[in-house]
Amino acid sequence: MIWQLDLILLIFLVITALISLRVRDLLGASMVFGIYSFLICLLWAGMGAVDVAFTEAAVGAGVSTVILVATVYHTRRVTGGHKRASGMKVLSLLLMLVLGGVLLHASGDFPALGDPTSPANDHPVAQYYIEGSYQDTKVPNLVTSVLADYRGYDTLFETVVVFVAGIGILAVIGVPTARMRREEVCGDTAQFGEDSDLIILQTCRLVVPVLQLFALYVIAHGHHSPGGGFQGGVLFGASYILLALSGGLREALRRLSESMSFRLAACGIVIYAGFGLLCMALGSSFLDYAILDSILPGGVAMARSHSMLIVEAGVGFTVTTILFVIYANLATRGKLEGGL
């Protein structure tokens, strides 16, 4: 943790947060929010939170900016110029000052940053994860082993939340009649992006396969390096978004239609929960991978490692397809044609 870099990043973080809220052009506000996400990603990488930084770079700085821009495109671009009653603002400011005073006063009692003996770091659970996790699961990446094995229950429901968000977007802005027309139209043999720019099209045609391969690498190598199901899934979904941005949404939909997306997303959750039920069927409790030693090769620890890979693949399926569905619906106001 280089304190000089941390201090400068913190100052710029607060400045960019304030700017993104003050700028009247909403497109500019989205861009400054992307800058904010990248800065905080650097801060976390400096503090050793590499998995968190990876996810924030992919999700926060990448996908969040794209869906914000897609929404600004379909609503108003400029804001401001409206004078509303300032009573709420003054009340809110007072509330913030009080809350800020309380929190800052409480921070005087916090342990110093980076103290290895602070109560959060000294806790026996955290100590066990650091010391015993490799022997139990043979997975060097502690974050992946805790995420997919020790706290697998939380990760299952996180995946379900992502799936529910996809369904929710379909429910809120999905337009059924246009969708059915879309399914018919998708079957024709249109040329690849006849109205998109040549340079962007060809560069993206080079980049997308490499990106997808790298996404699969991140999912598979998440046991040994920063990565895992979420990061790889976001990268894979981003490759489809890139395909949609460069060649037109029709091209991306031809390769991954919306119905296939939801089927794959449901498959991801079925894989994850099905694995848990498999563990129950073999006699142990839900998501207790140790019992799978009887069907997976290599011993108890390797059985847990293999199971982690399979459930991460399930998570990857869901995150990929739902992110693409979120983008496709937001960019076209639910109609899945035209758009960004």
- Looking at residues 235 to 274 of the shown chain, list those that interact with other proteins (rule: CB under 8 A): none
Rounded-to-integer distance, Cα 153 and Cα 130, Å: 20
Verify binding: residue 67, other proteins, rule CB under 8 A: yes
Distances (CA, A) of 162 to 13, 231, 246, 335: 28, 14, 26, 21
Verify binding: residue 299, other proteins, rule CB under 8 A: no
Q: Which stretch binds other proteins (CB under 8 A): 150-158, 247-255, 285-293, 300-308?
A: 150-158
Verify binding: residue 200, other proteins, rule CB under 8 A: yes
Q: Which stretch binds other proteins (CB under 8 A): 151-159, 256-264, 265-273, 295-303?
A: 151-159
Verify binding: residue 151, other proteins, rule CB under 8 A: yes
Q: Which stretch binds other proteins (CB under 8 A): 180-188, 206-214, 296-304, 306-314?
A: 206-214
> According to CB under 8 A, which one of 38, 42, 136, 155 is a site residue for other proteins?
155
Least gap, CB of 281 to other proteins (angstroms): 27
Nearer to other proteins, 207 or 280 (CB): 207
Are the C-beta atoms of 163 and 265 separated by less than 8 Å? Answer: yes
Verify binding: residue 25, other proteins, rule CB under 8 A: yes
Verify binding: residue 225, other proteins, rule CB under 8 A: yes
- Would you say the C-alpha torsion 160, 166, 169, 170 has a positive or negative sign? negative
Helix (H, G, I), strand (E, B) or coil at 192: coil
Q: What number of chain residues touch other proteins (CB under 8 A)?
A: 119
Verify binding: residue 337, other proteins, rule CB under 8 A: no
Q: Which stretch binds other proteins (CB under 8 A): 4-12, 262-270, 284-292, 301-309?
A: 4-12
* CA-based nearest residue to 243, from 215, 220, 276: 215
Q: Which stretch binds other proteins (CB under 8 A): 158-166, 183-191, 249-257, 268-276?
A: 158-166
Q: What residues from 124 to 143 belong to the interface with other proteins (CB under 8 A)?
A: 125-126, 129-131, 133-135, 140-143
**Nearby residues of 10 by Cβ (< 8 Å), 6 or more positions away:** 43
- Would you say the C-alpha torsion 144, 141, 234, 8 has a positive or negative sign? positive
Least gap, CB of 187 to other proteins (angstroms): 26
Verify binding: residue 287, other proteins, rule CB under 8 A: no
* CA-based nearest residue to 263, from 184, 150, 183, 166: 166
Q: What residues from 307 to 326 belong to the interface with other proteins (CB under 8 A)?
A: 319, 322-323, 326
Verify binding: residue 2, other proteins, rule CB under 8 A: no
> According to CB under 8 A, which one of 103, 188, 191, 297 is a site residue for other proteins?
103
Least gap, CB of 157 to other proteins (angstroms): 9
Site map (CB under 8 A) of other proteins, residues 33-62, x = contact? x--xx--x--xx--xxxxxx--xx--xx--
Nearer to other proteins, 136 or 271 (CB): 136
Are the C-beta atoms of 37 and 6 separated by less than 8 Å? Answer: no
- 109 C-beta neighbours (distance < 10 Å), count: 6
Least gap, CB of 308 to other proteins (angstroms): 13
Rounded-to-integer distance, Cα 64 and Cα 37, Å: 9
**Nearby residues of 12 by Cβ (< 8 Å), 6 or more positions away:** 39
Beta bridge partners of 25: 78
Verify binding: residue 284, other proteins, rule CB under 8 A: no
CA 79: distance to chain centroid? 28
Burial 160-183 (b: 16+ CB within 10 A, else e): eebbeebeebbeeebbeebbeebe
